[in-house]
Amino acid sequence: MTVIGIQRLHGKAERDNDDLVMKNQTSETKNKTMKIVVIGGTGLIGTKLVNNLRQQGHEVVAASPSQGINSVTGEGLAAALAGAQVVVDVTNSPSWEDQAVLEFFESSTRNLLAAEAVAGVRHHVALSVVGTERLLASGFFRAKMAQENLIKASPIPYTILRSTQFFEFAGGIANSSTDGQTVRLPPALMQPIAAADVAAVLADVAVAAPVQGTIEVAGPEPIRLDEFVRRYLSATRDARKVETDAHARYFGIEVNDQSLTPGVNPRLGALSFETWLRTSANKK
Ligand SMILES: NC(=O)c1ccc[n+]([C@@H]2O[C@H](COP(=O)([O-])OP(=O)(O)OC[C@H]3O[C@@H](n4cnc5c(N)ncnc54)[C@H](OP(=O)(O)O)[C@@H]3O)[C@@H](O)[C@H]2O)c1
């Protein structure tokens, strides 16, 4: 068992790699410290991931514009990547406007993959979202799909980790669906997860061999979207009320019980929503 008791099944991984190469890479990487560059290393997931990898003894660069490393302009990328074996992309776009978010993920991913080819990086890891291909009515998810497609088309060996919604995102969902004191949300099934559990799985993925495919990670229990936000608002003593509305949209998208939930055998985080609400929801 790993630190968060996750299933060690590789979910929906599509393996194209030669098994022998993977075995060799696994034994090569297992006992070695590596240089790992975390792009977006100052963000919610990035900060936790950087700490986790440093605790394991790896040399980690926490890259972001505030550190002089910008994946969109290319500033500082070549120097940051020199000698790195692994790059983990946990960036997010400052703007979620349709065109801006698409340009962000396309330019950032192209620049990263090009810089990785020059630096001889052997594993590109990116964090994406469970159900991305079912959510393409939203510009944000079209941008995440474009990011995934660029990674798949690149010669750099890769692993895409798709996560469900973070517990920490409950407030963002509430804000996007608020009208006055009312939050209108559909009762779609979801399986949210603690950011700390996502970061732990990412750390595990980053030091393993590339799977040349996609792995899913989700929280330990399913919950309905309206109930998820209702419980969050109640725990944070927010006066807004959640109204269940089957036709309300999630970031402009109609969602059903299949839209946000993972497929078979996702890796599972250990921390329950109940425990997170009690211990962390008010610390954000
Ligand atoms: N929210 C969810 O529920 C959810 C679920 C599944 C997957 N995801 C995915 O998880 C990823 C990370 O999310 P997060 O919440 O950790 O993001 P976040 O807290 O917003 O952090 C974003 C990071 O990206 C960095 N960044 C922004 N522009 C950059 C640039 N041009 N070059 C380099 N770095 C840049 C930021 O740096 P500064 O701090 O310097 O701006 C920050 O470190 C996203 O791709 C998202 O799609 C999210």
Q: Give me the residues paired with residue 123 across strands.
A: 86
Residue nearest to atom 38 of ligand 1 (CA): 64
Question: Residue 282: what pLDDT?
Answer: 78
Residues 183/239, Cβ–Cβ less than 8 Å: no
Q: What is the pTM of this model?
A: 0.91
Measure 235 CA to ligand 1 centroid, in angstroms. Answer: 25
Model pLDDT, residue 268: 98
Q: Which two tokens stand for residue 161?
A: 């980790």
Task: Determine the topology of domain 18-257+265-283 in CATH.
Answer: Rossmann fold (3.40.50)
- 141 with 135: CB under 8 angstroms? yes
Going by CA atoms, what residue is nearest to atom 36 of ligand 1?
A: 40
Q: What is the mean pLDDT of each run of 10 residues along the chain (284 residues)?
A: 36 36 43 92 98 98 97 98 98 96 98 98 98 97 98 98 98 96 98 98 98 98 98 96 96 96 97 96 72
Taking the centre of ligand 1 as the mean of its atom positions, its distance from the CA of residue 270, in whole angstroms, is: 23
Q: Are 17 and 272 in contact (CB under 8 A)?
A: no
Nearest atom in ligand 1 to 166's CA? 3
The ligand 1 atom at the shortest distance from the C-alpha of residue 163 is 6
> For a substitution probing ligand 1, which of 50, 52, 90, 201 has the most ligand atoms within 8 Å of its CB?
90
User: Distance between CA 146 and CA 138 in Å, rounded?
Assistant: 13
List pocket residues of ligand 1, CB cut-off 6 Å.
Answer: 39-40, 42-46, 64-66, 70-72, 90-92, 94, 108, 127, 129, 144, 163, 165-166, 169
Ligand 1 pocket, mutate which of 66, 77, 92 (most atoms under 8 A from CB): 92
Given the CA of residue 73, which atom of ligand 1 is nearest to it?
Answer: 31
> Which residue's alpha carbon is at the smallest distance from atom 47 of ligand 1?
128
Q: Return the domain boundaries, the chain.
A: 18-257+265-283
DSSP assignment of the chain equals: --TT------TT----S-HHHHHHHHHHHHT---EEEEETTTSHHHHHHHHHHHHTT-EEEEE-GGGT--TTT-TTHHHHHTT-SEEEE----S--SHHHHHHHHHHHHHHHHHHHHHHT--EEEEEEETTGGG-TTSHHHHHHHHHHHHHHHSSS-EEEEEE--BGGGHHHHHHHTEETTEEEE---EE--B-HHHHHHHHHHHHHSPP-SEEEEEE-SS-EEHHHHHHHHHHHTT---EEEE-TT--BTTB---TTTSS--SS-EE----HHHHHHHTGGG-
